Amino acid sequence: MEFNLSGFPAAEAQQKKVESVRLLVLGSGPAGLSAALYAARAELTPLVLTGVEIGGQAGLTFIIENYPGFPEGVGGYQLGELFQKQAEKFGARVEFETASAVDLSRRPFKISTYGADYLADSLVIATGASSNHLGIPGEKELTGHGVSYCATCDGYFFKEKRVVVVGGGDSALEEGLFLTRYASSVTIVHRRDSLRAGAILQKRAHDNPKVNFVWNSVLTAIVGDHLVEGVKLKNVVSGEESLLPTDGVFIFIGHTPNTELFKGQLEMDERGYIKTDMLMQTSVPGVYAAGEVADPNFRQVVTSAGMGAAAAMQAIKYLEKEEVQSPGVA
């Protein structure tokens, strides 16, 4: 029997609704919703499938201070709502659906969800990236019981508690600083003796009396019976091992692009990011990729939004060219 990625027999899929669209956007973060805005203004009535993380990773950010136009900063979730409202105002349709399979081998491209098969003349992939895990004992077992990958989502549960933050990048410091609102202490454990994070965040972290650092150290296990009670640490220079009592562990060690659906269909780099040219074009004509799914370098809300707009502009040109070459096909 044939199965699709969602695990449903292919026979059931035959009962699904089938709908044709000019442009389909996968993902509802800054890249996806910006692509939808531009495509909507070109009167393509784009369809956005949100995926499970509506608003993408930006939507989980408490406050975004570096998106131009908001000198006082803007809530990540609030910014996502504004993006969506603006795209919808011009005719974009946003559906709370997740693609379970895609077929990019012929046009129209087929994008399958649990309830529908969409046939799209062009596609913008903006599926973003997901948090990396440490892969150590206790991490999986205690996720949701003291282990978290989102301070904005879970920080509130750590009022007057001790937390450990893992990582030395912007995310670790930004989220660690956010946690100082609730936690009694925030211990940042970093595998080296210097941080990757930008200067402003470093200064804020060093100046905050609740933040302290454990350098040159990695977690080897997270321990606790039902709830996190501590972390096992290893100093990578001296080899010394220790146990640090804590109530929570927040892990911010980078991301992996969400490209599983496209493996074998689109060219990717060795880390799984979708390869695009300067014009956001992937290895399949008519398929564009934007935002963190195709960007291991910048990964900012503003750059993702810009990539989304550029991808849509190229998709619009692609569809227009096709109409000129084969009038009446669309």
In whole angstroms, how close is the CB of 134 to ligand NAP at the nearest point? 6
Tokens coding 77: 């979730």
Please pick, from the candidates 122, 171, 217, 282, the single residue that binds ligand NAP as defined by CB under 6 A: 171
Exactly one of 121, 154, 247, 295 is catalytic; which is it? Answer: 154
* Buried b / exposed e along 86-108 (16+ C-beta atoms within 10 A): bbbebbbebeebbbbbbebeebb
In whole angstroms, how close is the CB of 319 to ligand NAP at the nearest point? 32
> Between β-strands 255-257 and 287-289, what pairing exists: parallel, antiparallel or unpaired?
unpaired
Scanning 85-93, 160-168, 207-215, 320-328 for contacts with ligand NAP by CB under 6 A, the matching segment is: 160-168
In whole angstroms, how close is the CB of 170 to ligand NAP at the nearest point? 4
In the bound state with ligand NAP, the residue whose beta carbon lies nearer, of 171 and 314, is: 171
Please pick, from the candidates 63, 82, 116, 218, the single residue that binds ligand NAP as defined by CB under 6 A: 218
Scanning 79-87, 99-107, 188-196, 275-283 for contacts with ligand NAP by CB under 6 A, the matching segment is: 188-196
Contact between residue 87 and residue 31 where contact means Cβ atoms under 8 Å apart: no
The answer to whether 103 is a known catalytic residue is: no
Residue 145 near ligand NAP by CB under 6 A: no
In the bound state with ligand NAP, the residue whose beta carbon lies nearer, of 192 and 317, is: 192
Residue 204 near ligand NAP by CB under 6 A: no
In whole angstroms, how close is the CB of 136 to ligand NAP at the nearest point? 9
Residue 299 near ligand NAP by CB under 6 A: yes
In angstroms, rounded to a whole number, what is the distance separating the alpha carbons of residues 69 and 138? 43
In whole angstroms, how close is the CB of 169 to ligand NAP at the nearest point? 2
Exactly one of 153, 193, 269, 277 is catalytic; which is it? Answer: 153
Please pick, from the candidates 146, 155, 168, 248, the single residue that binds ligand NAP as defined by CB under 6 A: 168
* Number of residue whose CB is nearest ligand NAP: 169
Contact between residue 66 and residue 15 where contact means Cβ atoms under 8 Å apart: no
Residue 254 near ligand NAP by CB under 6 A: yes
The answer to whether 154 is a known catalytic residue is: yes
In the bound state with ligand NAP, the residue whose beta carbon lies nearer, of 93 and 299, is: 299
The answer to whether 247 is a known catalytic residue is: no
Residue 253 near ligand NAP by CB under 6 A: yes
Exactly one of 103, 121, 150, 277 is catalytic; which is it? Answer: 150
In whole angstroms, how close is the CB of 157 to ligand NAP at the nearest point? 22
Q: What positions carry a catalytic annotation?
A: 150, 153-154
Could you list the residues that contact ligand NAP (CB under 6 A)? 66, 134, 166-172, 174, 191-192, 196, 218, 252-255, 299
